[in-house]
């Protein structure tokens, strides 16, 4: 690897000043002349036929321009996602509380809000079903138009009976995990403008502009070259802005198309929580076995995800859930069955981890129970079984490189002083206990075999005549720091010019081609690779031009810190930084070169492309190269537990992550800390409460409780860099992993402290107290 000057350094984020000082303009800060406002009328019913929609009263409310229903859709009433089941506006049937039925458009927010209360819809109730396992039984009410089984995936490796017979110890468990709300700072919001009745422009907060482009194409029946989707600065997403912008961005476009005016559709917090997707709740049935020496012999998993009413992204979420269900271990015999059942509740979609935090929690509890049964240090049990370079995953994928799992374990072990503590803590008795718990896990980077078709990316770089640079990519920054990392990669790739010379343009479907969604921790390695490939082309041209100007051969040009040197001997170039070699050498600056190229009509404008390395999947056996590579991590939690109040006081969390290469270590730390905090919420406090009609009861932050800074313990981060040779400068993706092990390691620490079994999250004090009184 060459010496890096910019990539790999903790440089400040270009977007930080605007966001911290408050001058960044988010969608809702924008208003256009003559703009109308829209609001969703949604069905309050879990399952009902729509008999009649009476809009008269609402239409006569002052300030109302029009109200649109499914009948007003000129194109298709289908949101392109994974299956053709999801409608923009319910037409004959409404299948979950919160399903959009009408779009109210008016002069201001107050009128559309008040008119909403005046819409009268006659419903005929149908029997609902709220549990995914029940929904898959025969005779259950049919929720989804394409059937209640939204998806099913399986893995078969080895022979499960053989694995069972080889085991000295078998551990069983049933686990449940809750919904999780994304709780991004900026709620969903879109502005659509129908320019000269030619081009539909949609601006808004989103992860996947090309999804929105396709949604607008569907609802309006327009070709992609008439739809321009532009991402505005996005205040958090966490997966919640993967599927939902298609629905709401599509509706905003419909409103602009119908009214001919700019239309703003912004959800307030209540509507945002009520109408947007969540993390899938899960119930899983586990059985694992091991020999006396700790070696795992088999893992059998049956897991049910609650998909909610429509498929949206569930098939992909379930696939990841299946592939991650057996953890990060070498297991010869595996059987996984993963089901997603439709229920009459809010559709579930993407959320940081995408189906894996559910099963990581379950599997890591299983591993701890197994360790206890075997009398082995739980962290050591993981060391015994963890995947190493050359090993095979449960899908039969050989791991030829970049497997830093065991390094993360040993680093976390020494940082947390694990060995001393975990044996001692269970001996403490009395009211105040202490506990230590661990979780190890992997994360398949990118879309994997299930998302093959979308797994490519494009980048476009242009050098301006003054030597400043702009680039465009098709993946988005939603706060995770992609802009910073890609700018660093471009700066490095262009020969070490300062980051400040480079600007990332807003992501715009008119400037580069569909680069797939910004999900699955894929932006750095996909767009980063595409950027490097365009940088290379540009540098080749610049060197060639420089050699002409400096009267030498292109090989005699050395590019360093943004200067093109004519070096004395090309051989010396290889000796490294060669200060001597450069001394007194004639050179041209990057700016001079840009200007020279411009006046000589030599274009410095290049596209670069990323094409995913191959992946594969055999649906009958679940065998294949599921993902291009994996990120690995070990997380350890230390906590104090009050047996009398059931309260958990987190003390420390150690999070050690193998991410290939940290392009920006400060950003990496930020991602780890943020993910850990989100994991703390998932582990200890977040839940959605439903009434008997499937309606969310806590659509606000006074009742949907997420951690505050005071709930956060000391977080100790560490980065392990085991190079991924196919990624930019060795980087692989990792943005999601920091959340994934937190629930598992906290649960294991609670067990270590108290002996109370944990098979469900969130771990509320009410539960601890109830169980501690049984001891």
Partner 1 sequence: MELPDFDVRIPDTLKEAAELLARSAPGGAMSLAGGTDLLIRMKEGVSKPGMIIILEKIGKIKVIKASKNRIRIGGAATFDAIIRSKIIQNKAPVLAAACEKIGSPQIRNRGTIGGNIANASPCADSVPALAVLEAEVALVSQSGERRLPVIECFKGPKKNAFRPDEIISHIEFPAPKQPLRSFYLAKGQRKALSITKLSVACQMEIDSGGKVKKARIAYGAVAPTVIRGYAVEEFLTGKALSPGVLKEAEEIARKEIKPIDDIRSTMEYRRIVTGALLRRGLSSVGKTEQ
For residues 381 and 680, which CB has a smaller minimum distance to partner 1 in the complex? 680
For residues 47 and 345, which CB has a smaller minimum distance to partner 1 in the complex? 345
Q: Smallest Cα–Cα separation from 471: which of 456, 483, 480?
A: 483
Tokens of 124: 């005929």
Nearest-angstrom CA–CA distance, 395 and 320: 12
CB of 695 to partner 1, least distance (A): 13
CB of 739 to partner 1, least distance (A): 18
CB of 573 to partner 1, least distance (A): 59
Q: What is the largest CA-CA distance in the chain?
A: 86
Question: How remote is the C-alpha of 1 from its chain's centroid?
Answer: 29
For residues 540 and 689, which CB has a smaller minimum distance to partner 1 in the complex? 689
Q: Smallest Cα–Cα separation from 736: which of 439, 455, 444, 387?
A: 444
- Within 43-166, strands assigned E span 48-54, 64-69, 93-94, 100-106, 120-125, 149-157
CB of 658 to partner 1, least distance (A): 32
Strands 263-266 and 93-94 turn out to be unpaired
For residues 595 and 698, which CB has a smaller minimum distance to partner 1 in the complex? 698
For residues 235 and 646, which CB has a smaller minimum distance to partner 1 in the complex? 646
Nearest-angstrom CA–CA distance, 420 and 425: 9
Tally the C-alpha atoms within 13 A of residue 772's C-alpha that lie toward its C-beta.
24
Contact 508, 230 (CB under 8 A): yes
Nearest-angstrom CA–CA distance, 377 and 416: 14
CB of 39 to partner 1, least distance (A): 10
For residues 117 and 373, which CB has a smaller minimum distance to partner 1 in the complex? 117
In whole angstroms, how far apart are CA 362 and each of 166, 270, 774? 23, 31, 23
For residues 109 and 537, which CB has a smaller minimum distance to partner 1 in the complex? 109
CB of 651 to partner 1, least distance (A): 14
CB of 744 to partner 1, least distance (A): 21
CB of 702 to partner 1, least distance (A): 7
CB of 765 to partner 1, least distance (A): 7
Q: What secondary structure letter does DSSP report for 613? A: P
Residue 327 burial (C-beta neighbours within 10 Å; 0-12, 13-18, 19+): buried
Q: Smallest Cα–Cα separation from 10: which of 670, 655, 482, 667?
A: 667
Contact 170, 189 (CB under 8 A): no
Contact 89, 76 (CB under 8 A): no
Tally the C-alpha atoms within 13 A of residue 142's C-alpha that lie toward its C-beta.
5
How close are the terminal C-alpha atoms of the chain, in Å? 57
Nearest-angstrom CA–CA distance, 723 and 140: 50
For residues 31 and 137, which CB has a smaller minimum distance to partner 1 in the complex? 31
For residues 685 and 739, which CB has a smaller minimum distance to partner 1 in the complex? 685
For residues 172 and 649, which CB has a smaller minimum distance to partner 1 in the complex? 649
CB of 235 to partner 1, least distance (A): 19
* Other Cβ atoms closer than 10 A to 548: 14
For residues 91 and 647, which CB has a smaller minimum distance to partner 1 in the complex? 647
For residues 289 and 707, which CB has a smaller minimum distance to partner 1 in the complex? 707
CB of 667 to partner 1, least distance (A): 27
For residues 670 and 765, which CB has a smaller minimum distance to partner 1 in the complex? 765
CB of 643 to partner 1, least distance (A): 10
CB of 113 to partner 1, least distance (A): 4
Nearest-angstrom CA–CA distance, 240 and 510: 24
Q: Which stretches of the chain bind partner 1, using CB under 8 A?
A: 109-110, 113-114, 268, 270, 644-647, 685, 689, 697-698, 702-703, 705, 707-711, 765-766, 769-770, 773
Helix axes 742-754, 356-374, angle to 10 degrees: 30
Contact 528, 489 (CB under 8 A): yes
Nearest-angstrom CA–CA distance, 548 and 563: 15
For residues 435 and 707, which CB has a smaller minimum distance to partner 1 in the complex? 707
Q: What is the DSSP string of 587-620?
A: EEEHHHHHHHHHHTT---EEEEEEEPPP---BTT
Nearest-angstrom CA–CA distance, 722 and 731: 9
| Ramachandran angles phi, psi of 147, nearest 5° | 110, 155
Measured in residues, the chain has a length of 775
Q: What secondary structure letter does DSSP report for 765? A: H
For residues 607 and 690, which CB has a smaller minimum distance to partner 1 in the complex? 690
CB of 64 to partner 1, least distance (A): 14
For residues 111 and 440, which CB has a smaller minimum distance to partner 1 in the complex? 111
In whole angstroms, how far apart are CA 142 and each of 135, 345, 409, 553, 691? 8, 13, 47, 72, 21
Contact 357, 676 (CB under 8 A): no
* Element housing 648 (H / E): strand 648-658
| Ramachandran angles phi, psi of 172, nearest 5° | -115, 155
CB of 644 to partner 1, least distance (A): 5
Nearest-angstrom CA–CA distance, 245 and 655: 32
For residues 552 and 705, which CB has a smaller minimum distance to partner 1 in the complex? 705
| Ramachandran angles phi, psi of 711, nearest 5° | -90, 0
Q: Smallest Cα–Cα separation from 203: which of 70, 87, 31?
A: 31
CB of 708 to partner 1, least distance (A): 5
CB of 687 to partner 1, least distance (A): 9
In whole angstroms, how far apart are CA 59 and each of 103, 106, 111, 248, 720? 12, 10, 10, 21, 61
Question: How remote is the C-alpha of 357 from its chain's centroid?
Answer: 12
For residues 88 and 687, which CB has a smaller minimum distance to partner 1 in the complex? 687
């Amino acid at each position: 690897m060459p010496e890096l000057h910019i990539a790999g350094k903790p440089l400040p984020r270009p977007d930080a000043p605007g966001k911290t000082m408050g001058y960044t303009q988010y969608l809702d800060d924008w208003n256009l002349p003559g703009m109308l406002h829209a609001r969703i009328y949604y069905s309050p019913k879990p399952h009902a036929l729509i008999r009649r929609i009476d809009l008269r009263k609402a239409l006569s409310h002052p300030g109302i321009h029009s109200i649109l229903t499914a009948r007003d859709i000129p194109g298709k009433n289908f949101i392109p996602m994974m299956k053709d089941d999801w409608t923009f506006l319910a037409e004959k049937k409404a299948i979950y509380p919160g399903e959009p039925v009408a779009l109210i458009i008016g002069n201001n927010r107050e009128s559309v809000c008040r008119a909403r209360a005046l819409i009268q819809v006659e419903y005929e109730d149908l029997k609902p079903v709220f549990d995914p396992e029940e929904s898959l039984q025969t005779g259950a009410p049919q929720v989804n138009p394409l059937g209640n089984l939204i998806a099913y995936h399986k893995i078969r490796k080895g022979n499960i009976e053989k694995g069972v017979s080889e085991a000295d110890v078998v551990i069983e468990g049933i686990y449940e995990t809750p919904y999780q709300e994304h709780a991004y700072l900026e709620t969903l919001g879109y502005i659509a403008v129908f320019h000269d009745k030619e081009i539909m422009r949609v601006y808004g907060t989103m992860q996947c502009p090309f999804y929105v482009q396709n949604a607008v194409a569907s609802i309006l029946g327009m070709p992609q070259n008439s739809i321009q989707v532009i991402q505005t600065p996005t205040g958090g997403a966490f997966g919640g802005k993967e599927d939902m912008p298609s629905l709401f961005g599509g509706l905003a476009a419909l409103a602009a198309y119908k009214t001919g005016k700019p239309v703003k559709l912004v959800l307030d917090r209540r509507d945002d929580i009520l109408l947007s997707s969540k993390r899938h709740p899960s119930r899983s049935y586990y059985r694992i076995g091991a020999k006396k020496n700790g070696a795992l012999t088999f893992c059998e998993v049956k897991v049910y995800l609650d998909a909610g009413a429509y498929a949206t992204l569930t098939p992909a979420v379930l696939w990841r859930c299946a592939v991650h269900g057996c953890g990060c271990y070498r297991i010869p015999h595996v059987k996984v069955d993963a089901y997603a059942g439709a229920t009459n509740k809010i559709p579930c979609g993407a959320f940081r981890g995408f189906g894996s935090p559910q099963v990581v929690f379950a599997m890591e509890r299983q591993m701890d129970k197994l360790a206890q049964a075997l009398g082995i240090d739980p962290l050591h049990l993981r060391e015994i079984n963890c995947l190493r370079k050359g090993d095979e995953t449960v899908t039969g994928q050989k791991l030829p490189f970049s497997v830093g799992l065991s390094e993360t374990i040993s680093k976390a072990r020494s940082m947390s002083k694990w060995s001393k503590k975990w044996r001692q803590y269970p001996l403490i008795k009395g009211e105040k206990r202490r506990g230590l718990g661990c979780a190890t896990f992997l994360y398949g980077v990118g879309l994997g075999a299930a998302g093959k078709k979308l797994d490519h990316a494009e980048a476009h770089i242009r050098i301006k005549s003054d030597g400043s640079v702009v680039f465009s990519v098709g993946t988005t920054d939603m706060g995770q720091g992609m802009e910073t990392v890609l700018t660093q990669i471009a700066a490095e790739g262009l020969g070490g010019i300062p980051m400040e010379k480079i600007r990332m343009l807003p992501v715009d479907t008119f400037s580069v081609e569909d680069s797939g969604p910004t999900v699955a921790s894929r932006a750095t390695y996909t767009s980063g690779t595409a950027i490097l490939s365009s940088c290379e082309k540009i540098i080749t041209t610049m060197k060639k031009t420089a050699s002409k100007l400096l009267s030498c051969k292109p090989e005699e040009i050395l590019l360093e810190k943004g200067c093109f040197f004519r070096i004395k001997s090309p051989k010396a170039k290889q000796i490294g930084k060669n200060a001597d070699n450069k001394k007194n050498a004639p050179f041209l600056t990057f700016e001079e070169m840009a200007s020279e190229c411009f006046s000589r009509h030599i274009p410095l404008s290049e596209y670069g492309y990323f094409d995913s390395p191959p992946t594969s999947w055999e649906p009958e056996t679940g065998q294949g190269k599921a993902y291009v590579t994996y990120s690995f991590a070990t997380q350890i939690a230390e906590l104090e537990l009050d047996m009398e109040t059931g309260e958990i006081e987190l003390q420390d969390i150690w999070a050690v992550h193998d991410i290939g290469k940290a392009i920006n270590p400060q950003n990496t730390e930020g991602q780890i800390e943020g993910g850990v905090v989100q994991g703390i919420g998932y582990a200890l406090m977040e839940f959605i409460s439903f009434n008997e009609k499937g309606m969310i009861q806590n659509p606000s932050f006074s009742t949907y409780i997420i951690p505050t800074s005071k709930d956060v313990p000391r977080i100790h981060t560490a980065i392990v860099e085991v190079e991924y040779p196919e990624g930019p400068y060795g980087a692989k993706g990792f943005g999601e992993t920091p959340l994934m092990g937190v629930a598992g390691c906290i649960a294991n620490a609670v067990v270590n402290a108290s002996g109370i079994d944990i098979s469900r999250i969130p771990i509320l004090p009410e539960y601890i107290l109830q169980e501690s009184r049984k001891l």
